[in-house]
Amino acid sequence: MSRVGWLDASSGASGDMVLGALLGAGVPLDVLSSAVDAVSPEPVTLSVEVVARNGFAATRCSVAVTDSSTARDWAAIRDLLAGSSLEAPVRDLALAIFSRLAEAEAEVHGVDVELVHFHEVGALDSIADIVAAAAGFVHLALDSITCSAIALGGGTVATSHGRLGVPAPAVAVLLRGIPSYGGPIERELTTPTGAAILAVLADGFGPQPAMAIEEVGVGAGGADPDGHANVLRLLVGEGLRSPRGVSASSTTGAGGGQALVIEANIDDLDPRLWPEVIAALLAAGASDAWLTPILMKKGRPAHTLHVLVGADAAETVRHEIFRQTSTIGVREQTFDKHALDRSFTAVDVDGQRIAVKLAHLHGELLNVQPEYDDVAAAARALGRPAKDVLAEAAALARSSTS
């Protein structure tokens, strides 16, 4: 059996809520504090208390920092993390989260990612939130993490650029392709830090998978609005097979199990729509989707749509197939699935950051795959062939992990 986690983000997410949920789920405070001490250039203190949020008990993790006027851009934060004494899995996860933030901020402000100044995100407390969150989830050693659709809140939020509508621009970019919704109250519920942590950590999005719950962590946000429990829940336990015989915990992450394949033959959909259809299915929780050209009765050209999905997201994905395509029926099969353990790192090619996915089997590195969007962007910026940048990024990743 695998160990799985489910994050209930129906009240949004922030850095302190993530840390409180981790502590409530049994992660020792020393695990978080030691990681922060290993990277922070100035004193940072984590403190824990049990609080009430709309009448429910929750764990509140507060981050206390000294006053600092030090400006920190992405390069400075990256150097802090790379030069720290953090263990490699924690460092790589923290780098991946901050990298996601940097890319979102760069897009929002229309600047090169290397020139991003994080403002609120780059403050010491956010560095602490991200590093401690990375340490906490590495400590839990979960085989897969599923997250609910993410509540964003409403109204406006104060930022260094004035008051902005919720979701804040960076949050909207960070959650592109991820299920989210406005409300249920008129205040910011998901911060950029919280959005980045969930976007990087979650292997899939949907309802709670079939699991035997062992730990329940309830992380409190800073506010306690009337009529609303401002908390993020983390459920940790043993993954189970659903009554239909489909593994609900290991279809979108590393490990093994069973996966559901939903198929439909479609001959009357404008082919220009297929890219959007596939993107919508992936956003709904499918772990993969693809097309096969076929020839149907009366010689009609058509496509078979194949969608790979876990049991926890099957209902949502099935609904999306009917909503996005012209099919009036689907068929389903269950297959065994075997996936390598995954981790992430990043390399620098002539000043251009490229994320890299690593695949392991029993600790042995088998595959190194740079993210092609990063490769293409770097190739354009450097005026180099994409194939050369791809090869160099892969070589750098292999050498840095050997």
Q: Is the residue at 249 inside a domain? A: no
Is-contact 355 96, C-beta < 8 A? yes
* Claim to verify: residue 228 and residue 353 sit in the same structural domain: no
Alpha helices for 191-259 (secondary structure H): 192-201
On whether residue 200 sits in a domain, the answer given is yes
Model confidence band, residue 229 (pLDDT cutoffs 50, 70, 90): very high
Structure tokens at 345: 């790192």
**Residues 324, 231: one domain?**
no
Q: Where among 339, 367, 383 does a domain terminate?
A: 339
Domain identity same for 194 and 226: yes
Split into its structural domains, the chain has a count of 3
| pLDDT tens for each residue of 337-352 | 777 887 778 899 999 9
For position 283, which CATH number holds?
A: 3.30.70.1380
Question: What residue spans of 192-324 are helical by DSSP H?
Answer: 192-201, 274-283, 311-324
pLDDT, tens digit, for every residue of 167-176?
Answer: 999 999 999 8
Give the predicted TM-score (pTM) of the model.
Answer: 0.63
244, part of any domain:
no
pLDDT over 80 at 8, yes or no: yes
Residue 55 inside a domain? The answer is: yes
Q: What percent of the chain has a predicted confidence (pLDDT) above 70?
A: 92
Same domain, 14 and 117: yes
Residues 84 and 201 placed together within one structural domain of the fold: yes
Is the pLDDT score of 56 beyond 60?
Answer: yes
- Residue 225: per-residue pLDDT: 94
Query: Are 140 and 39 in the same domain?
Result: yes
Q: What is the pLDDT of residue 399?
A: 87
Residue 197 — very low, low, confident or very high, per pLDDT cuts 50/70/90?
Answer: very high
- pLDDT at residue 297 greater than cutoff 60: yes
What percentage of the chain exceeds 90 in pLDDT?
62
Same domain, 335 and 351: no
Evaluate whether 233 touches 40 at the Cβ level (below 8 Å).
no
Which one, of 126, 102, 104, lies nearest residue 115 by Cα? 102
Q: Is the pLDDT of residue 55 over 50?
A: yes
| Strands lying side by side in the sheet with 364-370 | 341-349, 352-361, 364-370
In a domain, 250, yes or no: no
Do 321 and 392 belong to one domain?
A: no
CB atoms closer than 10 angstroms to residue 175: 21
Label residue 190 by pLDDT band (50, 70, 90): very high
Is residue 245 in a domain?
no
The per-residue pLDDT for 158 is: 85
What's the pLDDT score for residue 118? 63
Averaged pLDDT, 259-272: 93
Q: Closest by alpha carbon to 259, among 291, 289, 287? A: 287
Asked whether residue 317 falls in the same domain as residue 355, the answer is no
Q: Is residue 382 part of a domain?
A: yes
**What is the residue range of 335's domain?**
255-339
pLDDT of res. 14: 96
